[in-house]
Amino acid sequence: MARRKTEVRFHAAVDLSVIHAAFVVATGGPCGDAKTEAALVGPTTEINTRLISASVDVRGFWSALFAAVAAKQAARDACEPALLAAGCSELQVDQTAPAIASRLDECRIAFAKRFPKLREQLQLRSGPLKDRWQTYGPGLLIQTAGQIWAAAPPDDWWPPRIDVLLVQPMRGGDGGFDSSEGRVWMEAMLTDADPQVSELFRLAYWITRVAVGRHLSATLGVPSEPSAPEDFGSGTHRVSSLPWDLGCVPVVLAAGHELEILRTDKLPIADAIRLWRLGDPAVGQVVDQWWQQWGDSKAPTPVALKALDRMLEPLRRAGEAAGGAARRGSANTTEHPRR
């Protein structure tokens, strides 16, 4: 079994906290901080209005901006490339970028008023997770790799280092990853939202997704047009036809159970999928059933994931049918949707 230790480095991500909060408010995500939401709704609405008028993909812009700031680029400097990445024409970008940069400055100022000592707060918040990771993290990764690779993972499965960017919580727990850069971001939670689904497992899950993304890029090649790596964790630089995102959940939890970090008779698979914003209860139930059938099968992981993909197919078809009905219904009504 590969035992090369991965260096996990924790960082207080102040600038990224601003963009994360603005992203949540701008894209209508559930926000647990009403005061911050109220402070940011004005400038983010103006930004979205600008984006729409310039025919720019709103969510694509915020994802590209998030990725650039995660890479330590200033938000103001990242505006123009983020706009171009989201479809803004070169003729419009010179006028649009400065206007959006000014609104982002307003977001930064408003956020600083809400959290004047954010760096110190994030460093304090990182303490519990960092301590638990130093105690249990290396063993959890070893056990997780063994689950995926039937106790014989390649020596280079885990990256030599992972940067964990900790941001101010806005959603009661959230995270994402960028496999090509060995980078993970997480909301810095002081306590676990669910005692059975520790933030330790969330971190192990995102690091596992980095390893999977690196492996897929090495074996399948890097796509010519990689997707933005944030988007609340659903994006990476390698999109696979297999449901690695869902399959990795029980793998990490089972590794924790083997190490007696997770002490429960039944793995909280559906709860983790809900808390980590990976799917609804129906998806969680399917993944739970899949793991009961395949968790002890010793089948190669791709084979097991193909079975999971088949089990998820009815939910995908139902979702597509519901989406089509919703679109047809909206075409036959004069009522405007709520913004």
State the pLDDT at residue 138. Answer: 95
Q: Which one, of 103, 100, 89, 102, lies nearest residue 56 by Cα?
A: 89
State the pLDDT at residue 151. Answer: 73
Q: Quick one: tokens of 103?
A: 């609104």
Question: Quick check: 68 and 89 in contact, CB under 8 A?
Answer: no
- Strand residues in 33-174 grouped as ranges (E): 161-167
Classify 295 as helix, strand or coil: coil
Mean pLDDT for each consecutive 10-residue tract of the chain (339 residues)? 76 96 91 95 97 93 91 94 93 95 97 96 95 96 93 87 96 90 93 93 95 85 54 44 92 96 94 94 97 91 94 91 61 36
Cα 173 from Cα 169, distance rounded (Å): 6
Cα 203 from Cα 45, distance rounded (Å): 32
State the pLDDT at residue 53. Answer: 94
Q: Which residue has the tokens 């983010």?
A: 44
Cα 308 from Cα 37, distance rounded (Å): 38
State the pLDDT at residue 322. Answer: 74
Please provide residue 177's backbone torsions phi and psi, each rounded to the nearest 5 degrees.
-155, 160
State the pLDDT at residue 319. Answer: 82
Question: Quick check: 103 and 40 in contact, CB under 8 A?
Answer: no
State the pLDDT at residue 150. Answer: 85
